[in-house]
Homo-oligomer: A and B are copies of this chain.
């Protein structure tokens, strides 16, 4: 029986991690380690200046997990290196409420948990549902089972993880699965300037999601078109084209 580590960034109390935990039951022995509160948009943050505490969570429905006062990357590090007897065969992160496509991959705690797994040489997959507030995970769970099963069979190359985004529509409307590229979806920020009751200025970061892509093979566009988007991503960030161009710069 394979061992599967389940984590997320919405926190251990989020419905998405319960859905993922349920989906993984049929595939192997499941261990859950997730942040004790929501840690969205923490990117690949880790906790080096504060102590990390772990609490065990036991639900009447059988759900057990480690609640960690840390980031998604912390959860993966401590689960693999201090809490589990041996490393898991696969790490799955999610199911996130809201898609993680394009530039947003950089900010995503869901993806960063899978990146951390990959850094630790464990095949890892991030799952996100393109829906906010509505928690209909039935189809997303099937996708998670299918992808995790294949990853357990085939493994993933060292340094590569899968970023899976599932459209928030009913199963009958889904057009299929598509292997995609990371596109150019971005969050157009706006800072709202306000005054607090003591007369001090503060700002809220807000804005709207924009997708300039029209190519159907880009992650955001594929999801908008009704496909499950599967993007292989890699944290080896060297820009080879620029590497050559830089040799011509007069820097000495």
Within 8 A of B (CB), among A179-202: 179, 181-182, 186, 189-191, 193-194, 196, 200-202
Contact A43 B41 (CB under 8 A): no
**Is A105 an interface residue, CB under 8 A from the partner?**
yes
A48 to chain B: closest residue by CB? B41
Is residue A173 within 8 Å, beta carbon to beta carbon, of the partner chain?
A: no
> Are A235 and B49 in touch, CB under 8 angstroms?
no
Who on chain B is nearest to A246 by CB?
Answer: B179
Q: Are B241 and A112 in contact (CB under 8 A)?
A: no
> Chain copies in the assembly?
2
Chain B positions within 8 Å of A30 at CB level: none
Q: Is A209 an interface residue (CB 8 A)?
A: no
Chain B residues positioned under 8 Å from A236 (CB to CB):
182
Which chain B residue has the least Cβ–Cβ distance from A251?
B177
Q: How large is the interface on A (under 10, 10 to 19, 20 to 34, 35 or more residues)?
A: 35 or more
Given contacts A44-B107, A190-B81, contact A237 B233 (CB under 8 A): yes
The answer to the question of A147 belonging to the interface, with a C-beta cut-off of 8 Å to chain B, is: yes
A53 at the interface (CB under 8 A from B): yes
Verify B157–A241 contact, CB threshold 8 A.
Answer: yes
Would you give the 0/1 interface string for A231-251, flagging 1 where the beta carbon is closer than 8 Å to chain B?
A: 111111111011101110111
Q: Tell whether A106 is near chain B: CB-to-CB under 8 Å.
A: yes
Question: Nearest 3 A-B pairs (CB), nearest first?
Answer: A43-B44, A232-B242, A51-B202
A-B contact pairs, 17 of them (CB 8 A): A43-B46, A44-B106, A51-B196, A53-B200, A77-B205, A78-B191, A78-B205, A82-B193, A106-B235, A147-B251, A154-B249, A157-B239, A160-B239, A160-B242, A179-B247, A182-B238, A230-B251
